[in-house]
Amino acid sequence: DSGVTQTPKHLITATGQRVTLRCSPRSGDLSVYWYQQSLDQGLQFLIQYYNGEERAKGNILERFSAQQFPDLHSELNLSSLELGDSALYFCASSLRAGGAGELFFGEGSRLTVL
């Protein structure tokens, strides 16, 4: 158990819909990362927050947004969903903002868009 909790574990929805994925980081970790894992793209970095502020942005679509709340949990919002958004979305956390240290991953939220 990494200590990172993601909900929901599975989600099935239709094209055009909007969903919210939630992540609770390990106790004490200030940094949260979102990654998308798809069969053809591997593990792609989406966005990082540190102590409530956006820290780094990767290959995140404009239809997607995220935030980190004062209690340090984070939410990833995916809107106007397309079939290609079907993937496993991972949240990871770490203590510091940088340092290229160890990331602790949750078990992922599997999104299926029909």
Partner 1 sequence: GDSVTQMEGPVTLSEEAFLTINCTYTATGYPSLFWYVQYPGEGLQLLLKATKADDKGSNKGFEATYRKETTSFHLEKGSVQVSDSAVYFCASGHFGNEKLTFGTGTRLTIIP
Q: Which parts of this chain interact with partner 1 (CB under 8 A)?
A: 2, 4, 31, 33, 35, 42-43, 45, 48, 50, 55-56, 58, 90, 92, 97-100, 102-108
CA pair distance 59, 77, nearest whole angstrom: 15
Quick one: 28 or 99, whose CB is closer to partner 1?
99
Quick one: 65 or 79, whose CB is closer to partner 1?
65
Quick one: 19 or 26, whose CB is closer to partner 1?
26
Residue 13 CB, nearest distance to partner 1 (Å)? 21
Three-state DSSP state, 84: helix
> Cβ neighbours of residue 97 under 8 Å, at least 6 residues apart?
30, 31, 48, 50, 51, 55
Residue 55 CB, nearest distance to partner 1 (Å)? 5
Q: What angle do CA 109, 36, 6 make, to 5 degrees?
A: 25
- Cβ atoms < 10 Å from Cβ of 20: 15
Three-state DSSP state, 75: strand
Residue 82 CB, nearest distance to partner 1 (Å)? 22
Quick one: 75 or 110, whose CB is closer to partner 1?
110
